[in-house]
Amino acid sequence: MTQLRTGILLLLLPVLAIGVPLLGGCGSNPYPGENPNTLHVFLTAAIKSIDPAHAQDETSNICVLNIYDQLYEYEYLTRPYKLKPCLAAAMPEISEDTLTYTIRMQPGIHFVDDPCFEGGKGREVNAHDMVFCFKRMMDTRTKSTGTWIFDGKIVGLDAFRKASADVPKNPRRDEYTIDEGYPEVEGVKALDDYTIQFKLTEPYPQFIWTLAMGYTSVYPPEAIRYYGKEFLDKGVGTGPYMIESLNRSKKLVLKRNPNYREDRFPETGMPGDAERRRLVDAGKRLPLNDRVVMTIFKESQPQWLYFMRGYLDRCGIPKDNFNTAVDQETFELHPSMSARGISLDKDPKMEVIYDCFNMEDEVVGAPAGEKGLAIRRAISLATDNVWAIKHLYNGRAERVDGPILKEFPEYDANYRNPWKLGPSETRKEQVARARKILADAGFPGGKGIPVLTKDIIDNDSNRTFFLAFERDLAEVGIRVEPYSTTWPEFLRRLNTKKSQLWGVSWGADYPDPQNFFQLFYGPNKAPGVNKSCFDNEEFNDLYEQTRVMLPSPERTALYQRMQAIVADLCVWSFRYRRVNFNLIHPWLYGYRYNDMGQKYFKYCRVDPVKRQAEVKTVNKATIWPALVFFGIGGLLIAFTLVAARRRTTGW
């Protein structure tokens, strides 16, 4: 009988292991007893830091942008992207030579209440705080990942950075005085308590955009003095929310900042915003919710289940669930989702996914002359981006012709990359064009071209993408083999110019084509950001002209010429960019995706009555799978007991 009981227990264990969580998830609220005016959002990775100086990865940057403020922020609904004052009282006053930016700050804005302040009461923000934050970011001991933004750009800041490596005093780095050995930084000064002035070493048209990045958030020296290294877990800012609780691997909970400045939802939006419930709260005081719960999901399926049960207010669509959510014929929302009032937003990412050629390679690069150019053009033409978008991205990507994206003011809607599928061209005609290019260059049917090598990060997804690429090139007679590598080795190979061909993406840091054009500028070649090692005299001259030009019709014309150069020479095979498919529950109002910075928490509002009704209905219905599961499990155990009884008693 002991063996029988042991056997039954062994049978019950897997049933309980699977069934109890299933039953527990049916109708059980993972956020019991919370304030109903709570926005529920997701993060896809652990939070590395909430220190603005380390706001590099997407997860940390989302946290920083919604806790801290910067001098400027993006107009929430406006497209193309446009800045507006945040901590600043107005847009900057720019000198005639465009080298001096004078910015007036709003008076009366306070930091959140925090123990780092005397009496725990947050004091008023001033221009000296902003100067401190710039210096701390450039301090070598801070090890900020954002120093590249200002390297060589601000008078005296490079000298300060160099000196900071040798200053032994003040290990907490809560102030930077001349007595401690720090040099004066002429380019970042507080003219008075509410005026900050920046002096640039040369015109930097993109400077204004950097003042909206998470890296340039303002925080008080008192917090650095009080918390030291623990500051990475603190949120002593001026934003709409402050930290209620934090577990960096599981959850961040924010609560309304009672000292938040006067800030209101925009009165107007773009066409379609009203229909998408984005203007319901026009003119209302921000933030609109009392709390925000940011739950970390390292796997997509738990995140999807939370959304479907109503415990997330919005969600992306995992690849495995795409057919459930989106109709495969229309690529619109599936009727079963629409019936629940769920809506779908489609927002292109500000990125380019491309295949890159090593322009110093003897086969595909500049040393190969016209033959190398022919190979690059043929590869660009042979690549079947239409098929890849449909089958590898579930239709969640769109064509890209060059580095000037359609959100940029310089975008030309009539421009077409000549080495991609033409407007009325068939796939058969596209391949025929690629074959003719190779034949004219002395490579009929690809003969004479050695086997090419494409670097790939070794994982299932990348191997699938490579197989499609290999198949495409085989259609024109070009053979290619993978060089499987890890991410660190991949970067090392690019920096040492060892790779011949590779695929990668680049996301815009700010909405200006210069952010992409820097990747083609000769002096930036590897180990710099120009991994292709492209070095073209005309392009370099145009880049040097435009990098100090403010937006103008003249600069637009030069930008468009630069795009034509890199596209015609096929430095990159421009492929596509991803499109975010965001599902939104009917009780969420005001959500608008922003690829330049996800500073959206304060604009969103939930209707707790609608949410509660839907959650109750959905989770009541989902108890049946668990009951069926236990019913089947019970029958299996009963049959096992009967069989075991027969064996032991001789029935």
DSSP 23-76: HHHSS--SSTT--SSEEEEEESS------GGG--SHHHHHHHHHH---SEEE-S
Report the pLDDT value the prediction gives residue 275, as an integer from 0 to 100: 94
Which of the four pLDDT bands, split at 50, 70 and 90, describes residue 638? low
- Given a cut of 50, is residue 647 above it in pLDDT? no
- Contact (CB, 8 A) for 114 and 122: yes
Tell me the average pLDDT of the chain: 91
Report the pLDDT value the prediction gives residue 319, as an integer from 0 to 100: 85
Determine which of 9-23, 33-47, 211-225, 357-371 has the lowest per-residue pLDDT on average: 9-23
Number of other CB atoms surrounding residue 483 within 10 Å:
17
Report the pLDDT value the prediction gives residue 331, as an integer from 0 to 100: 86
Question: What average pLDDT does this structure show over 70-75?
Answer: 97
- Given a cut of 80, is residue 168 above it in pLDDT? no
Q: Which residue has the higher pLDDT, 637 or 363?
A: 363
Which of the four pLDDT bands, split at 50, 70 and 90, describes residue 9? very low
Cα 355 to Cα 564: distance, rounded to the nearest angstrom: 17
Which of the four pLDDT bands, split at 50, 70 and 90, describes residue 175? confident
- Given a cut of 50, is residue 108 above it in pLDDT? yes
- Given a cut of 70, is residue 12 above it in pLDDT? no
Q: Which of 572, 507, 588 is nearest to 533 (CA)?
A: 572
- Given a cut of 60, is residue 186 above it in pLDDT? yes
State the CATH class of domain 351-579: alpha beta
* Token reading at 485: 């590598």
Cα 414 to Cα 560: distance, rounded to the nearest angstrom: 12
DSSP 102-148: EEEBPTT-BPPP-TTSGGG---B--HHHHHHHHHHHH-TTTT-TTGG
- Given a cut of 90, is residue 166 above it in pLDDT? no
Domains of the chain, residue spans: 2-26+623-649, 35-51+60-67+239-342+585-621, 69-228, 351-579
Determine which of 114-123, 148-157, 167-176, 347-356 has the lowest per-residue pLDDT on average: 167-176
Positive or negative: CA dihedral 89, 292, 350, 213: positive
Report the pLDDT value the prediction gives residue 643, as an integer from 0 to 100: 52
Number of other CB atoms surrounding residue 331 within 10 Å:
16
State the CATH class of domain 69-228: alpha beta
Residues 506-520 pLDDT 10s: 999 899 999 999 999
Report the pLDDT value the prediction gives residue 639, as an integer from 0 to 100: 55
Report the pLDDT value the prediction gives residue 631, as an integer from 0 to 100: 52
Estimate to the nearest angstrom the gap between the alpha carbon of 161 and the chain centroid. 28
Residue with tokens 């070493």: 201
Question: What average pLDDT does this structure show over 484-505?
Answer: 95
Report the pLDDT value the prediction gives residue 635, as an integer from 0 to 100: 56
Residues 291-314 pLDDT 10s: 999 999 989 999 999 999 999 999
Cα 382 to Cα 449: distance, rounded to the nearest angstrom: 15
Residues 359-378 pLDDT 10s: 999 999 999 999 999 999 99
Report the pLDDT value the prediction gives residue 651, as an integer from 0 to 100: 41
Which of the four pLDDT bands, split at 50, 70 and 90, describes residue 57? confident
Secondary-structure breakdown of the chain: helix, strand, coil percentages, each rounded to the nearest 5: 40, 20, 45
- Given a cut of 60, is residue 17 above it in pLDDT? no
Determine which of 156-170, 176-190, 545-559, 565-579 has the lowest per-residue pLDDT on average: 156-170
- Given a cut of 50, is residue 320 above it in pLDDT? yes
b/e sequence 360-398, b meaning 16+ C-beta within 10 Å = bbebbbbebeebbbbbbbbbbbbbbbeebbeebbbbbbb
The CATH classification of domain 35-51+60-67+239-342+585-621, taken from the options 3.30.200.20, 1.20.1250.20, 3.40.190.10, 3.40.50.970: 3.40.190.10
